[in-house]
Amino acid sequence: MNCPKCKIENLREIQINGVKVDRCKYCGGLWFDKDELKLTRDHRDKNLSLLEFDLWEDESKLMVSGKSVDCPRDGKPLFKIKYGNTNVMIDICLDCHGIWLDREELDKIILELKEKVNSETIPEHLNNLGKEIVELLANPGHADVELKHIAIVMKLIEYRIISKHPKIAEIISVLPD
């Protein structure tokens, strides 16, 4: 495949967090086929799997800023959009749902998502817990995913309580297993 930035055939398959993606050896850009970015993000930090959003859930709501370069997979135009609630602009293909990230954009996305998870308050985590329980009840076929999300939220609540109330941490540390 041709790099959409360098325009020459130099994308090579590499593994990032156990997921095979394509990387340009010259500019360092990364090509993610459909769902590979989500898998990479979730493998990098399991807590980030809570941040469920589908870039293509409602294509009419995509904040597309115009054509940037051509898709290395199908040659169609890539469009710039914000990745979820981050400030990182990514290039997406509306046809094959592939994603192009320039050098260091993956790290920026992960950093911003971690900051979001780590900055949430206990009430926000409790709200997330409620949403995950509703999802579990509404979609019992996805129980494995929803139960993982519930466990993550509960662990985040535990961390937040312990960090805000060190006395509780002391009490818990002396309790038998």
What is the 3-state composition of the chain as percent helix, strand, coil, each rounded to the nearest 5? 45, 20, 35
In this predicted structure, the answer to whether residue 90 has a pLDDT above a threshold of 80 is yes
* CA–CA gap between residue 79 and residue 81 (Å, rounded): 7
Q: Do 96 and 140 share a domain, yes or no?
A: no
The 10s digit of each residue's pLDDT in 92-132 is 998 899 999 999 999 998 888 888 877 888 888 888 888 88
Residue 151 structural domain: 122-174
Q: Confirm whether 5 is domain-assigned.
A: no
Under DSSP, the state recorded for 8 is: S
86/34 same-domain check: yes
For residues 25 and 101, membership in a common domain is answered with: yes
> Do 109 and 30 share a domain, yes or no?
yes
In this prediction, residue 99 carries a pLDDT of 92
Cα(47)–Cα(72) distance, rounded to whole angstroms? 31
Q: Name residue 79's beta-bridge partners.
A: 67, 92
- The reply to whether 81 and 128 lie within a common domain is no
pLDDT digits (tens, 9 = 90+) for 32-83: 999 898 888 888 877 776 666 556 555 554 555 666 789 999 999 888 888 8
Assigned domain for 2 exists: no
State residue 73's pLDDT score: 92
Euclidean distance between CA atoms 54 and 167, whole angstroms: 40
Q: Do 33 and 105 have their domain in common?
A: yes
pLDDT number for residue 32? 94
- How many domains would you assign to the chain? 2
Q: Would 67 be classed as within a structural domain?
A: yes
pLDDT, tens digit (0-9, with 9 covering 90-100), for 5-29: 998 878 999 999 889 999 999 999 9
Q: Are residues 83 and 160 in the same domain?
A: no
User: Is there a domain that residue 60 lies in?
Assistant: yes
153 with 72, same domain: the answer is no
